[in-house]
Amino acid sequence: MSSWRHFIESRRFGELAPIPKAICYALLALWSTIVLFPLYWVFVTSFKEPVDVAYPPKFLPFIDFQPSLHAWRYIFVDLGNDTFRPYANSLIVASVSTLLAVLIGSMAAYALSRIEYKPKLGSVISFILLLAAAIIAVVYWQVDWRLAVVVAVVIFLLLLRALGRHFKRHLGNGDILFWIISQRILPPVVAAIPIYVMFQHVGLLDTHAALIITYTTINLPIVVWLMFDFFAAIPRDLEESAQLDGASRYRIFLGIVLPLAKPGLIAASLLVLILAWNEYLLALFLSTARAQTIPLLVAAQNATRGPQWWYMSVLIIIMIAPVLALTIFLQKYIAKGLLLGAVKG
Amino acid sequence: MTVVLDRISKSFGAMTVLHELSLSVQAGEFMVLLGPSGCGKTTALRMIAGLETVTSGRIEIDGRDVTEVAPKNRDIAMVFQSYALYPHMTVAENIAYPLVIRRTGRSDIDRQVRDVAAQVQLDSYLDRYPRQLSGGQRQRVALARAIIRRPAVFLMDEPLSNLDAKLRGHMRAELKHMQHALGITTIYVTHDQVEAMTLAHRVAVLNKGRPQQIDTPRQIYEDPANLFVAGFIGSPPMNFVDGDLMDGLFQSVGGRLPTSVRSSHGKVVLGFRPEDCRIAAPDEAGSLRGSIYSIELIGDHVLVTCRVGGQSITIKVEKNFSADIGAEIGIAVAAERTYLFEAESGQRLR
Amino acid sequence: MRLSFSDWLDRQADRLFILPAVLILLTFSIFPLLISAYLALSRFQLTAGGYQLRFVGWLNFKKLLFGGEQYHFLGVFVPVPWYGWLLLALVILLLARSIAQYIRSGKPTLFGLIGRAVTTAAILALALLLAATIGAGGQLGSLSVTVIYVAVGVTCQLLIGLGLAMLCSQNIRCRGFFRVVFFLPLMVTPVGIAYTFRMLADMTQGPLAGLWRFVGLGDLSWASQAWSARLVVMVGDTWQWTPFIFIVLLAAIEGQSREQVEAASLDGASYWQIFRDVTWPEIAPVASTIVLIRVIEAFKIVDLPNVLTNGGPGIATESLTLHSFINWRALDLGGSAAVAYMLLIVSTVLCASFFNYVMQPMRSRRQ
């Protein structure tokens, strides 16, 4: 009886008894298989000839089937440009939008963590109303959009003074932060058509610029959410002593604060990069030929190639390879960043 | 409820943290493990608790070999440095937790919780949460949680170090009284020698993983086994002067002193306590010669620091003493009040 | 005293730091919302010269809820089966209990009651919808399907992610290896995942074909059955998103106070008791936050159903976003915007409810 318990109850602190430990390893191995097998299958399939894809399924290269590079050759050589262009587009769009999102977002997060804002409710409401009026004017009455913007701005500035005196109620940093983060709830599909219309109006459809602007916008909230806690955790003494020495806010931000928040920046950048790299819906709406990104290329294969798994596999591999490599190196930072955001957030 | 440590050692890979500590704690005794940080005292405590494995040696509690026994089966209770209170439970629930785990009856639990809370004067705080309590109150909750189990041994890991100085003094008295009243064998870890001296029945002084001396506070104070113990205990610390021993006569740059050790020994260190020396005329026979460096009024006495041949000597004098900084003086100390240590090994010469 | 440009710039720093973000977000949230609202209230038609947008009021919404698009959005109604009644009973019980608790807790405010009324009505309506469309012969609309994706999907991801985190936080070797491996699925693009799982789930040619034949399902075409298709979508979704929850919970478990765990262990608590009494209370706020984030994102699911099954069979796997996209493709801009708005409303109400009634109480209990 007691020897049976010996296998189930742990003797030492922090150590598992043999049987629970074995179960633990078994379960972990099981999930590892679940994770790795699909990736392995894709990898292996990219080296298969069409005949090797038919039943029965073949698992091991050199043993079950002879690997061949025909799919790789086709995608890279035969389709050459058709493959490289979306790849380059994805690279450009993802990296530029990440850079912008991280820059603008961390500036905003830093400001929210250091400066107390008190935007008056009146001016916020009037800004919204004026923007709405301008949009309605452009759409309904075909007013030139540049004219509408100028008029709206002028009226806003005029109103600002008057409102400032009458409506004293203001919002705080918490409200601003909550509003920024809640932008994530907005489903992209709600914004897709209007954004499409807007870019078409301005002539930016199917360009890098359109995608970059859009991705920067939708990923800003994430950067703000993550970076806010990092900045809040940095003690102010360093900045205050720099201020006494005469440094401007910009210099303090770039030279002192950003280097200290490096883990958070890495986490945020990686997360945003991945989101931008994998983004599908908005790219679908906003680009057709020239600015096509890789997710679109992969999805489009469906129509032309249907179950041509070998080509699909190659495309999937080149799509996930860079992200995979980056992640393996920087995975620690993401965990820390996400945790910090979740604890305070 | 005796505790016996039989040459326990702990190594992490190639690094040995504790070397062969042997200790025998009597029932009801208050044993203090004292030493600077990194000396291995907390490791020793955690090994007794079972939170660390023992690399070699044996641990016995009440005659039972518990070296391989899980912590919860050793019948011990521990008060952690950070108190380790459960933040989402009330004070009452925190204290009751050990009993709840053991499935004691509800009414029984309530009664015992109230008893113990009264003992530590927490009766009116039973419904509060830890975050609403002060440091001293949290510490008492941790104590109550340990007491309620009526363990064979209490283990305490620097429980007073997170309190401010005044509260620390108050809690020291409380702890001492409580341990005496309950009579539970206690092993207490601290780096504060005042706590050790005031609380302990016996003190085990550790340095760099090696036990230095295990004795009553008085013995440790008056009869230190080596240089480390002599310098660690006592506030202000013992004065040390380098020199040679020739036929019972201590010779140094600052002068000569007769000692109670009848031999010759080459390089030695002479030690004597600030309260055992007095200020004498600069050229008095059998005294050291130095100049006054600073004078501090403590309140009921004055501390005079002097420089003797490059080393600092502190002398405790009566509160009305006054002199000029830089004045030449003599420092006299009776031979029986001196201690001699070998310069190399630090061992006490008798 | 003359102000140099750099001085002026420095004084404006406070505003300049936050202005770009605020302006961008304001423009891109107000603008699309308004345009979408306008589109949702109008009808788009291609005409000889280009296109025409005609204001039609609530027509699009009426179509979704009561008219021609009802089968697509809400589903086909049939008599409620016995498990439908069970579900309803359960939901009503939980809602009633939570409201009773609130009222009894002493300080009900008008705002609080209104908020809870809205949440209760929303949840009740969804439960009713589910119960009324789930029976034999009925059909689930995109609204129900999305809610199922979110509820079932996120629950599975939480349970698996928590389980993995607990396993990985034990004293085992190769912890770093497991951590990296478990994190990988998050990196794969959803489109890629969809194709990969299509390959894997292929009954005749996939790697598991042998397994299916062995179990006797070799002739089953999962893509032609509503529930099996939905299952595959959810499997793909869970495969991808479990790492997100896993990685955060693992960090949370590893970051908990070691001394509390040791104290509980000394007091005699077993592993499960320690988890219930020490670990879970500590990580619960983090878990709820990460669940909220996951729920917010889950409502937007579109890549998987689109590529895996194209919304099929029929409309069985269509999520709300996919529904909206399909309308757009069919040039029904008004309908597309209407569905998008319904998605916005539903997800906002449910996310806000979760935040207020699950997360805040958890937060205030700890704080």
- In sequence order, what DSSP letters do the residues of A52-107 get, joined into one string? HHSSSP--SBTTTB----HHHHIIIIISHHHHHHHHHHHHHHHHHHHHHHHHHHHH
Q: Are A234 and A261 in contact (CB under 8 A)?
A: yes
Test A11 with B51 for CB contact under 8 angstroms: no
Count H helices and E strands in chain B, helices first. Answer: 8, 21
Cβ neighbours for B117, distance < 8 A, ≥ 6 positions apart = B91, B92, B95, B123, B125, B126, B144
Nearest chain A Cα distance for residue B52, angstroms: 7
Chain A CB contacts of B50 under 8 Å are 12-13
Size of interface A-C (CB pairs under 8 A): 289
CA distance B306 to B323: 12
Size of interface B-C (CB pairs under 8 A): 59
Question: C336 — contact with chain A (CB < 8 Å)?
Answer: yes
- CATH assignment, B3-231: 3.40.50.300
Q: What pLDDT does residue A55 have? A: 66
Test C343 with A187 for CB contact under 8 angstroms: yes
The domain ranges of chain A are: 1-37, 46-78, 83-117+184-344, 119-171
Q: What pLDDT does residue C146 have? A: 93
By three-state DSSP, how is residue C184 classified? helix
Question: Searching chain C, which residue's CA lies closest to the CA of residue B154?
Answer: C266
Question: B72 — contact with chain C (CB < 8 Å)?
Answer: yes
Q: Which residues in chain A show pLDDT less than 50? A: 1, 345
DSSP notation for C241-263 = HHHHHHHHHHHHHHTS-HHHHHH
Fold for the domain defined by B237-349? OB fold (Dihydrolipoamide Acetyltransferase, E2P) (2.40.50)
Instruction: Count Cβ atoms below 10 Å from residue C19 Cβ, excluding itself.
Output: 15
Question: Searching chain C, which residue's CA lies closest to the CA of residue B142?
Answer: C263
Distant-in-sequence contacts of A84-92, Cβ < 8 A, 24+ apart: A85/A292, A86/A292, A86/A293, A86/A294, A86/A296, A86/A297, A87/A294, A87/A318, A89/A208, A89/A287, A89/A291, A89/A292, A89/A293, A89/A294, A90/A277, A90/A293, A90/A294, A90/A295, A92/A208
Report the interhelical angle of A208-233 vs A262-278 (nearest 10°): 150
Nearest chain A Cα distance for residue B70, angstroms: 5
pLDDT, tens digit, 9 for 90 and up, residues B246-257: 888 888 888 888
By three-state DSSP, how is residue B14 classified? coil
Question: Searching chain C, which residue's CA lies closest to the CA of residue A314?
Answer: C192
Q: Are C58 and C41 in contact (CB under 8 A)?
A: yes
Residue among C13, C31, C255 whose CB faces A194 most closely: C31
Cβ neighbours for C339, distance < 8 A, ≥ 6 positions apart = C64, C73, C142, C320, C323, C324, C327
Test B69 with A11 for CB contact under 8 angstroms: yes
**B296, C121, C317 from C125: Cα distances, Å:** 81, 6, 21
Q: What pLDDT does residue A283 have? A: 87
CA A291 to centroid of chain Cα atoms = 19
pLDDT, tens digit, 9 for 90 and up, residues B151-178: 999 999 999 988 888 888 888 988 899 8
Nearest chain A Cα distance for residue B53, angstroms: 7
- Position of tokens 């790789």? A72
- Selected residues 107-136 of chain C with any CB under 8 Å from a CB in chain A: none
Q: Are B84 and C257 in contact (CB under 8 A)?
A: yes
Question: Searching chain B, which residue's CA lies closest to the CA of residue A10?
Answer: B70
- The torsion defined by the Cα of B26, B27, B29 and B32, in degrees rounded to 10, comes to 60
- Tokens found for residue A172: 């705080």
Question: B51 — contact with chain C (CB < 8 Å)?
Answer: yes
Chains with ≥3 Cβ pairs under 8 A against C? A, B
CB-facing half-sphere around the CA of B245: CA atoms within 13 A:
24
Nearest chain A Cα distance for residue C174, angstroms: 10
Chain A CB contacts of B51 under 8 Å are 13-14
Cβ neighbours for B240, distance < 8 A, ≥ 6 positions apart = B227, B231, B269, B270, B271, B311
Which residues, listed in sequence order, are joined to residue B303 by a DSSP beta bridge? B296, B316
Report the interhelical angle of C142-168 vs C333-354 (nearest 10°): 40
Chain B residues in contact with chain A using a Cβ-Cβ cutoff of 8 Å: 50-53, 68-71
Nearest chain B Cα distance for residue A5, angstroms: 13
Query: ipTM exceeding 0.90?
Result: no
- Best B80, B154, B156 member to test C by mutation, with max C CBs in 10 Å, is B80
Question: B143 — contact with chain C (CB < 8 Å)?
Answer: no
Question: A9 — contact with chain B (CB < 8 Å)?
Answer: yes
Where, residue-wise, is CATH 3.40.50.300 in chain B?
3-231
Burial (CB < 10 A; 0-12, 13-18, 19+), residue A142, is: exposed
Q: Which residues in chain C show pLDDT less than 50? A: 367
What residue type is B342 in one-letter code?
E
Phi, psi of C300 (to 5 degrees): -90, 10
Size of interface A-B (CB pairs under 8 A): 15
What residue type is C51 in one-letter code?
Y
Q: What pLDDT does residue A1 have? A: 46
Q: Are B156 and B196 in contact (CB under 8 A)?
A: no
Q: What pLDDT does residue B257 have? A: 85
- Best C256, C260, C266, C280 member to test B by mutation, with max B CBs in 10 Å, is C266
Question: Searching chain C, which residue's CA lies closest to the CA of residue B99?
Answer: C267
Is residue B294's pLDDT more than 90? yes
- Tokens found for residue B157: 């890991």
Test A41 with C289 for CB contact under 8 angstroms: no
Cβ neighbours for B281, distance < 8 A, ≥ 6 positions apart = B329, B330
Nearest chain C Cα distance for residue B71, angstroms: 6
Sheet hosting strand B3-12, strand order edge to edge:
B15-25, B3-12, B56-61, B64-65
CA distance B195 to B32: 9
- The residue among B1, B56, B53, B49 whose CA lies nearest residue B25 is B1
Question: Searching chain C, which residue's CA lies closest to the CA of residue A216?
Answer: C24
By three-state DSSP, how is residue B321 classified? coil
B234: alpha, beta or left? (left if phi > 0; alpha if psi -120 to 50): left
Is residue B307's pLDDT more than 80? yes
Strands (E), B208-349: 210-215, 239-246, 249-252, 255-258, 266-272, 277-280, 287-297, 301-308, 311-318, 328-333, 339-342, 348-349
**A242, B219, B270, C13, C153 from B230: Cα distances, Å:** 47, 11, 11, 61, 68
Where, residue-wise, is CATH 2.40.50.140 in chain B?
237-349
* Letter string b/e over residues C127-163, b meaning 16 or more CB atoms within 10 A of that residue's CB: bbbbbbbbbeebbbbbbbbbbbbbeebbebbbebbbe
CA distance B118 to B129: 17
pLDDT, tens digit, 9 for 90 and up, residues A20-61: 888 889 999 999 999 998 888 888 888 877 777 766 677 777
CA C173 to centroid of chain Cα atoms = 35
- Tokens found for residue A186: 């907005």
- Best B47, B78, B81, B86 member to test C by mutation, with max C CBs in 10 Å, is B86
pLDDT, tens digit, 9 for 90 and up, residues B47-94: 999 998 899 999 999 989 999 888 888 889 999 988 889 988 899 999
What residue type is C228 in one-letter code?
S
Test C262 with B86 for CB contact under 8 angstroms: no
Question: B78 — contact with chain C (CB < 8 Å)?
Answer: yes
Domain A83-117+184-344, classified CATH 3.40.390.10, yes or no: no
CA distance B216 to B234: 14
pLDDT, tens digit, 9 for 90 and up, residues C307-355: 888 887 888 888 999 998 888 888 888 888 889 888 988 988 888 888 8
Question: A2 — contact with chain B (CB < 8 Å)?
Answer: no
CA B252 to centroid of chain Cα atoms = 32
Instruction: Count Cβ atoms below 10 Å from residue B181 Cβ, excluding itself.
Output: 9
Chain B CB contacts of C264 under 8 Å are 86, 97
Chain A CB contacts of B59 under 8 Å are none
Residue among B81, B82, B88 whose CB faces C366 most closely: B88
Residue among C265, C278, C365 whose CB faces B86 most closely: C278
What residue type is C17 in one-letter code?
F
Q: Regarding beta strands B277-280 and B328-333, do their DSSP bridges make them parallel or antiparallel, or are they unpaired?
A: antiparallel
Burial (CB < 10 A; 0-12, 13-18, 19+), residue C364, is: exposed
- Tokens found for residue A145: 């959009």
Q: What pLDDT does residue A6 have? A: 64
- The residue among B212, B236, B157 whose CA lies nearest residue B341 is B212
Question: A165 — contact with chain B (CB < 8 Å)?
Answer: no
Test A11 with B68 for CB contact under 8 angstroms: yes
Residue among A14, A253, A323 whose CB faces C171 most closely: A14
Chain B CB contacts of A9 under 8 Å are 70
Question: Searching chain B, which residue's CA lies closest to the CA of residue C261?
Answer: B84
Chain B CB contacts of A11 under 8 Å are 68-70
Question: Searching chain B, which residue's CA lies closest to the CA of residue A16?
Answer: B70
- The residue among B314, B276, B282 whose CA lies nearest residue B296 is B314
CA distance B114 to B110: 6
Chain B CB contacts of C282 under 8 Å are 87
Chain A CB contacts of C306 under 8 Å are 299
Test C296 with A184 for CB contact under 8 angstroms: yes
Helix segments in chain B, DSSP class H: 41-49, 91-101, 106-119, 135-147, 165-182, 193-199, 217-222, 227-232
Chain C CB contacts of B85 under 8 Å are 260
Predicted confidence band at B336 (pLDDT cuts at 50, 70, 90)? Answer: confident
The pTM (predicted TM-score) of the whole model is 0.83
Q: Regarding beta strands B153-157 and B76-79, do their DSSP bridges make them parallel or antiparallel, or are they unpaired?
A: parallel
- Tokens found for residue C30: 């107000």
